[in-house]
Structure 1
Amino acid sequence: MDSFKSLQDTISAALVSTTRSATRINGADIAFQRSLNPKLGTAVDAQNARLLQLAQCLLENAASSSDAVGPKLPDVEAIDGNWKGVVDIVDSLLEKADISLDEYTGVIKRMSPSGDQVRTAATSKSHFSSGLKHFAKPQLSFEHVPQNNETGGFRPLMTYKPHAKVPLAECMKAFKDSNGCEQFPHPYQTEIESYEYPPSMYEVAEPQPYPPFETTTASFVDTPEALAMMLAELKTAKEIAIDLEHHDNRTYVGMLSLMQISTRNKDWIVDTLKPWRRRLECLNEVFADPNVLKVLHGAYMDIVWLQRDLGLYVVGLFDTYHAARALGYPQASLAFLLDKFVNFKAQKQYRLADWRVRPLSDELFSYARADTHFLLHVFDHMRNELIERSNLEDPERNKIHDVLKNSKETALQRYEHPIYDSEFGLGSAGWYRLISRTPVHFNPEQFSVFRAVHKWRDDVARQQDESTLFIMPNHAVFSIARAMPLDKPTLFTVTQHVSPILREKADDLISVIARAKAAGENGPDLNDMLKKIAHIKFPAMESTKAPESAPSSTLAELELRTAPAIATLDTPAPRASLSRFWGSLLSGEASGQRRSASTLNVSLALPLPPLTAEIFAEPASVAAQSNIPQAEKLEHVFVPKEERPPEDQRTDIFIVKQLGAGHKRKRAAVENQVELSTDELDKVGPTNNGEADEIMLEGEVDELSRRKEKALRKAAKREAKKQKALLQSAENAGSLNDGDEEAAFDYTSAPSVLRAREVEAEQTKAGKKKKDKKKDPGFSPFSGLQDALKGLPRSQKEGPGRSRTFTS
């Protein structure tokens, strides 16, 4: 207790001294002192950065023990903006301290966790342990330690070639590609392209059941003896399922960490992190066997990883991902297929686990096994559906042919070394792909710092065999390029997430930034460099060749087709002399007057048929007709009616039914009352008295009858209205003759509208108001005043002793 008291006194004294010093500094005019002494301003900024870093560390440590999330403090203004987050962390810590004191004094008792909960927490922590600082790297114990500084083409790792149609010696001969780079061919290219899928692939068959997942297990292959036993059993299978687990967070190029293989009745989990991992090359005896069908899901990267780490190649691939796309499923993931065909829920949260951890936990072991245990059964269902929905005779509707073709193209993928191009940043590891996807505006100094920091990060990652993102995230590279820090406190403030390697090599990075900033004063501009790269990527954009400063051959240019294009206003679009679609329909002058447009990568959604010159050539018949002189067009001459030849009154209409026959209508009463006028009869059409003056079709007869009947009804109504008006005028005239003239309205004796209700009441008492007439409300000048919008209620203020939030 005495030791705690002394510690408390020491801390209190230090806090009091610090508070008094801060108060004195706050009372001084810092802005004025900075203007007088620039060195003072530099020292103050350095101390501000140091205090912010300390505050950030305190918040992160406090947040790790609380339920709140620690805010970021990149600058002084962020303290005021994120003050609520700081208060949340302090409140959470105080609440936990209060609970701990209550537990210590015995006020409350904490429930002890069960054994299952402790075991689950321990295993879940081990699943994602890639952030541990002292985790031993398995690649350091490999017989062939990965080298990250290779140049040239990737030489296959194979030492022998099973099931070969072309000898291995022929496959190891290097060649020069179109860019002049040295490359090695795919060892099994001929075997894959000439591979014929078995006849069972085109036959509908009942899906074979899979062994129960709960009552069976997988064999773990981690010794050469277990590998030999597995290989012997795999050679007897007709179909196998393969899947891989890859790790790329703590290594530069990544490494294959686990392999799952399943047959119809057995599963294997292969440890690919053993020092003798290159001995797994013997699996080519099965993987390259054309008599064994290999089923994988989303094998695009799996094919590359097998080549890079183990020297394995796949002949006879069926990719269920391409099958899911061809069948139009809403999703193409393996979890979706397992749920659809097997009703198995895959725990995909383990997909991001650290697969380097040994021994494997039960959860990771079951998850890895499930990826291939059901895959052959899923393949049976998808093959049957592809056959049922395909037309083998129509190439446009042959879905299974498209899936097999795409699977072959996936199996032909080749791995290439990630060579860094520091000048133009091309390639998978270069800076061009990163900056082309980010809308930034750098001056020459910032652009020089950006390239230098990106190159430094790549060099350190290759030396330490770490991923570039583990050393420094991409957004930190942009932040450093904008701020161009020249001291460690500012560098750590800008970076925010400081990795152990970055903290260790901070001085080296600061010197790199300083040299790049000085070199950037006369360096290239970002937009100029992007234009130069665009000219290298698209040589057809200009008639001249690429700039002489561009390298004649770099492996990074192999990825020009995959790298995104930068559209700028000053970049002309590539143009050809003739259109490959429209041919020579446009003249040279019209094509020369086109406006320059941005560089756009346009692709059509539907494939077009092959266009040849014969399509645009004019047919011989059309060309011959174009030479025939055409007769001149005769002009129309007006001929008066009197001079026109008489028309032939005869008609060729045959008799179907006499007009009006069979369509008797009761309109005699209407015809007796009124007769149609001549104009109305002309509008309706000719009448018929029973004898056929014209012979018409039955439909025309019905239409004519309806029109005549409608006209008769309208005429009858007009006549009735006319008679009614005559009668009313006669009655009015009779009343006027009798001397009963209508009295004029007397406005002086008329009741006021303001007394309408009173007059109404008097009339009601006198019996003059009729009871069957609806009561007239009369005039009310103030009736609408209550319809206005009501205002907000008066705010209730808190008084002394009263609280709106807490009740006592």
Structure 2
Amino acid sequence: MEDLTALHSATTSALLAATRTASHLANSDLPFHRSLDAELSSALDVQNARLFALAERLLGTATRSAAETGVRSHAPRLRNIDGVEGNWRAVVDVVDSLLERADTALDEFTGAVRRLSPVGEQQKAGFAAGGGVKPGRTAAALRNWDIEKPQLRFEHVPRNDETGLFVPLLESKPHATKPLMEVQVFEQPYQREIEEFQYQDSVYTQAEPIPYHPFESTTATFVDTEEAMYEMLGELKQATEIAIDLEHHDQRSYIGIVSLMQISTRHKDWIVDTLKPWRRKLQCLNEVFANPSVIKILHGAYMDVIWLQRDLGLYLVGLFDTHYACRALGYSGGSLAFLLKKFAGVDAQKQYQMADWRIRPLPQELVDYARSDTHYLLYIFDEMRNELIQRSDLTRPNHEGDKLWDVLQKSSETALRRYEHPIYDTELGQGPVGWYKLLDRTPALLSREQFAVFRAVHKWRDDVAREQDDSVHFVLPNHHIFTLAKQMPETKEGVLNTAHPATQTVRLRVDELLAVVSSAKEKGKTGDDMMDVLNRVEPQLPRKISREVAVAHSVAAFLPKASNSAVNGANPASSVLPLRSAASAFWGPALASTAQQERREYSTAAPGISLTVPLPPLTAEIFADPPEATYTPVRSASPEPTAVAPEDDGHDDIFVLKQLGKKRKRAAMGSEPRDAVMDSMAANNDEVAVMPDSDAERARGKAERKKARKDGKRAQRAISGAGGLNYDDPVVDDEQPFDYASAPSILHPPRESREEARERRKKVVNPYAKSSDVPKALGRVQKERSGRSMTYKS
């Protein structure tokens, strides 16, 4: 323990020193210092190479230690900064694996996972048979195993090319009210039984929940033989409620595969291996699953119902889905992990939810996780049933307030679901595996060629996935389809760079994928328009188009119809503007690029360059200075007599529009002549003055306007001094000039006495003195008060 403490202290100190040094260097301008000192540049290069080598060695050590626990991976090569950027995802995976292993070790050390570890010789012999389970395996390790496909050993190997109706796998129909021979091929075999099913009175009876057995003191029986299957069936027939759950794998299978089935009663748990070649013999469990006297409790059975009938030929009559109970009760969560925590106090290890459930023998972590999904579910059912009954109003007609009835009805509707073969629709992209939903959820802007490539690559991915029996996402992710459609690479390197990181299937079939892209690009020049096809699917719904498409439609409304079809090459019969032109409207194809960003020369004389909006020719007249603006009067259609210019009356020739809602200012003495009022009255003249034509007339008008302003100032002084206009008073021609010599100094102002300062402050006019005398407006909010009206006040 002392050695561990010393090692931890030394490691922490070294990491802190390295972190501080790196932060200090990051704040410095290293490129600048490199350019000044060649020795410093060489020293930095040496240290960079040393750090890269240390990082690569650390990653190699971590990868080798992970390989001992079952993880097959390769250490990323870090030769330079480009190697770090190119292998960053691999570096993150190694670090995540280390953190998960540390987390698992801490949980085991503190005992946090001890309560979910069943004990017993049966577990040791049953689950660890065939090599045992290595300790410390992480969730990442359980997801990265390269396992041989178990479906290749099935008695009925999946074909993935069925185009007709799904034929049920049933060889017999237990508990049937309608014989199997009378069931049509398009019907759900147990449709009549589910529709006529009536839940027992015990479901509507509130009772004390039956506690579950402790997880630590019980074990699960692993069913991997036919003898064990029939033995389990005999015990299940004695139960009145059973809990069921499935573990599904859909990464290395086109339609998916049920890898595990968990079943629990009040006293026992089973884990059924559904990857055996004789897996279809499990349909004998319909003697319990289709028995109306046995209630089947599942959580989120929407897809479980499909998987059971597709792979095993099993059907559920008398289903109770706890997910619908969560919604009816208004819980804040609707997952099984939420229910386990709420009612059993168990923290579900959800990091194993995405594990590869095809692993055999099953690791202990997966055994515990799978068993916990059904071990507590019957107790949860008791608690939720009682709460549904308590919160239901059974007195209202038509089950309006019956929450339990709503849950049972929705559960029955889920049990009626029917599996159908996934059929690919190339033209309109309909169906669960079609391209329409993917394109409809993503408002992409695709030209005719890009749209053709998108559909062709999507179809190629589906064909390859069916052939290899892999999921479509394992072959090619969705975002890579959009990237390939937009870039349309022309070389193998372009395909690999565009679909980076490339999947194993893409790397092996890159030539095939490149041929698909090239052929679709050529056919797309005269192919379908994306919006036309989408409108054919759902013409009554508004399309999800972006702002760029809306702007394109707006521009099309102002362009001539001939130019829309001729310039853009659009179909005249189509009313939709192409979403994206093949070349830039201004720069032509200069900005076009491929995955390698190849530069292409722009030639103005190259044919085939079209402009969406025609631009005027660039001539010398455009860059010349504009001519001096002149006033040109607008002439009416009918001839009018030439008006004689009135004589100048001394008013300002500038015309000012009067503001709406403002009254004209009137003279202080209404009987005085209007010529004596200040020049603001001239601004209210409603006649438009004609602009003078010559320099002499402009100079004369300027002098007259100056004289008018002086006359207005004299009139204003006369009004303020004598209380009115007096034309007999002598008028001073001009103001006295300012005497700068006798003015007081600004830098050294003379000091004034207290009396002078008091008198000066009295003479200061406060412009805001009467601002509070204006009438107040009505309050913003008017509230009615009890006992008093706002209209009539007492």
Give the alignment's TM-score, normalised by structure 2: 0.54
**Residue 160 of structure 2 aligns with which residue?**
148
How far the C-alpha of 1:513 sits from its partner, in A, is 1.1
Determine the structure 1 residue equivalent to 2:480: 476
The alignment partner of 1:321 has SS state of helix
RMSD of equivalent CA atoms: 3.5
1:315 corresponds, among 314, 317, 322, to 317
- Tell me by how many angstroms 1:125 deviates: 5.1
C-alpha contact 1:166 1:190 (8 A) present in aligned 2: yes
Listed as ranges, the matches of 1:372-387 within 5 Å are 372-387=374-389
Partner of 2:151: 139
Q: 1:291 to 1:88 in 2, by over 3 A?
A: closer
Indicate the residue corresponding to 2:347 in structure 1. Answer: 345
Maintained 8 Å contact 2:454/2:485: yes
CA contact (8 A) 1:327 1:386 kept: yes
Letter in 2 for 1:256: V
* Residue 164 of structure 1 pairs with residue 164 of structure 2: no
* Shift in CA distance, 85/428, structure 1 to aligned 2, threshold 3 Å: same
For the residue of structure 2 that corresponds to 1:397, the secondary structure is coil
Q: Is the 8 A contact 1:141 1:275 kept in 2?
A: yes
Runs of 5+ unmatched residues, structure 1: 1-57, 69-81, 97-112, 175-183, 542-563, 572-746, 755-808
Larger Rg: 1
Please report how far the alpha carbon of residue 85 of structure 1 lies from its aligned counterpart in structure 2 after TM superposition.
Answer: 6.0
Task: Map Cα deviations across residues 516-543 of structure 1 (whole Å, 9 max, x no partner).
Answer: 11111110111111112224xx6xx9xx
Mapping of residues 516-555 of structure 1, within 5 Å: 516-535=520-539
SS in 2 for 1:393: coil
How has the CA–CA distance of structure 1 residues 511 and 84 changed in structure 2, closer, same or farther, with 3 Å as cutoff? Answer: closer
Q: Which residue of 2 aligns with 1:459?
A: 463
Output the CA distance in 2 between the equivalents of 1:194 and 1:122: 49
SS in 1 for 2:303: helix
User: 2:268 — aligned with what?
Assistant: 266
Residues 1:235 and 1:524: Cα distance change in structure 2 (over 3 Å): same
Deviations 1:31-58 (A, max 9, x none): xxxxxxxxxxxxxxxxxxxxxxxxxxx9
Cα deviation for residue 62 of structure 1 reads 9.2
Cα separation, partners in 2 of 1:436 and 1:60, compared to 1, 3 Å: farther
Tell me the SS of whatever aligns to 2:263: strand
CA contact (8 A) 1:123 1:361 kept: no
Q: Is the 8 A contact 2:492 2:511 kept in 1?
A: yes
Matched, 1:188 2:200: no
Within a 5 Å distance, the mapping from 1:248-287 to structure 2 comes to: 248-287=250-289
The answer as to 2:444 corresponding to 1:440 is: yes
Residue of structure 1 equivalent to 2:637: none
Deviations 1:570-612 (A, max 9, x none): 99xxxxxxxxxxxxxxxxxxxxxxxxxxxxxxxxxxxxxxxxx
- Flag the 1:65–1:483 CA change in 2: closer, same or farther, 3 A: farther
1:506 aligns with 2:510: yes
Alignment-derived partner of residue 515 in structure 1? 519
**Residue of structure 1 equivalent to 2:404:** 400
Letter in 2 for 1:290: P
**Separation of aligned partners in 2, 1:422 and 1:61:** 47
Shift, 1:752, TM fit: 7.5
SS of the counterpart of 1:242? strand
Query: Aligned partners of 2:207 and 2:283: how far apart in 1?
Result: 34
Deviations 1:64-93 (A, max 9, x none): 65999xxxxxxxxxxxxx979659989x99
**Superposed displacement of residue 396, structure 1:** 1.9
Output the CA distance in 1 between the equivalents of 2:87 and 2:452: 42
C-alpha change, 1:60 and 1:524, in structure 2 (3 Å) is: farther
Residues 87, 136 of structure 1: alpha-carbon distance in 2 compared, 3 angstrom cutoff: closer
Q: Give the C-alpha shift of residue 152 in structure 1.
A: 1.6
**Alpha-carbon distance between aligned partners in 2 of 1:566 and 1:116, rounded to the nearest angstrom:** 52
Q: In 1, Cα distance between the equivalents of 2:360 and 2:324?
A: 34
Name the CA shift for 1:750/1:491 in 2 (closer, same or farther; >3 Å): closer
Paired with 1:316 and 1:211, the residues of 2 have a C-alpha distance of 25
Match of 2:361 in 1: 359
Could you tell me which residue of structure 2 aligns to residue 417 of structure 1? 421
Q: 1:380 to 1:748 in 2, by over 3 A?
A: closer
1:129 shift after superposition? 2.3
The residue that corresponds to 1:128 in the other structure is 143
SS of aligned partner of 1:269: strand
User: Structure 1 pair 365/426, CA: closer, same or farther in 2 (3 Å)?
Assistant: same
Aligned partners of 2:364 and 2:535: how far apart in 1? 54
SS of residue in 2 equivalent to 1:352: coil
TM-score using structure 1 length: 0.53
Kindly state the Cα deviation for residue 121 of structure 1 after the two structures are TM-superposed: 3.7
Aligned match of 1:369 in 357, 371, 374? 371
Rounded to whole Å, the distance in 2 between the matches of 1:60 and 1:252 is 39
- The answer as to whether partners of 2:461 and 2:476 remain within 8 angstroms in 1 is yes
Change (3 A) 1:198 1:114: closer
Deviation at 1:388, TM superposition (A): 0.6
Question: Are residues 86 and 317 of structure 1, via their aligned partners in 2, closer, same or farther at CA, if it must alter by over 3 Å?
Answer: closer
Distance of 1:61 and 1:478 partners within structure 2: 34
Contact kept, 8 Å, 2:139 with 2:352, in 1: the verdict is no
Q: Hey, what's the Cα distance between the residues in 2 that align with 1:268 and 1:140?
A: 26
Show structure 2 runs of 5+ residues with no match: 1-52, 64-80, 96-104, 110-132, 551-750, 759-794
Shift of 1:753: 6.6
**1:530–1:566 Cα contact (<8 Å) kept:** no
Per-residue displacement from partner, 1:620-646 (whole Å, max 9, x unpaired)? xxxxxxxxxxxxxxxxxxxxxxxxxxx
CA distance in 2: counterparts of 1:567 and 1:460, whole angstroms: 31
SS in 1 for 2:538: helix
Moved over 2 A (4+): 58-68, 82-90, 113-126, 564-571, 747-754
Q: State the partner residue of 1:488.
A: 492
Cα distance, 1:273 vs structure 2: 0.4
Which of 200, 214, 230 is 1:212 aligned to? 214
Conserved? CA contact 2:443–2:546, under 8 Å: no
Give the superposition deviation at 1:486.
Answer: 1.9
Q: Quick one: distance in 2 between partners of 1:63 and 1:523?
A: 54
Aligned equivalents of 1:427 and 1:245: distance in 2?
25
**What fraction of aligned residue pairs are identical, expressed as a percent?**
54
- Change in Cα spacing, 1:521 to 1:748, as seen in structure 2 (3 Å) is closer
AA in 2 matched with 1:406: K
**Partners of 1:129 and 1:748 in 2: how far apart?**
94
Query: Would the aligned equivalents of 1:126 and 1:357 in 2 still touch at CA under 8 Å?
Result: no
Deviation at 1:209, TM superposition (A): 1.3
* Change in CA separation of 1:62 and 1:533 when aligned onto 2, cut-off 3 Å: farther
User: Aligned equivalents of 2:753 and 2:300: distance in 1?
Assistant: 99
Asked if the contact 1:534–1:566 (Cα under 8 Å) also holds between the matched residues in 2, the reply is no
Question: 2-side partners of 1:186 and 1:497: how far apart?
Answer: 43
Distance between the aligned counterparts of 1:254 and 1:144, measured in 2? Answer: 14
CA deviation vs aligned residue, 1:386-407 (integer Å, no higher than 9, x gap): 1111112322211011000001
Aligned residues: 453
- The one-letter amino acid paired with 1:141 is R
1:120 CA drift (Å): 3.9
The AA in structure 2 aligned to 1:152 is G
Partner of 2:774: none
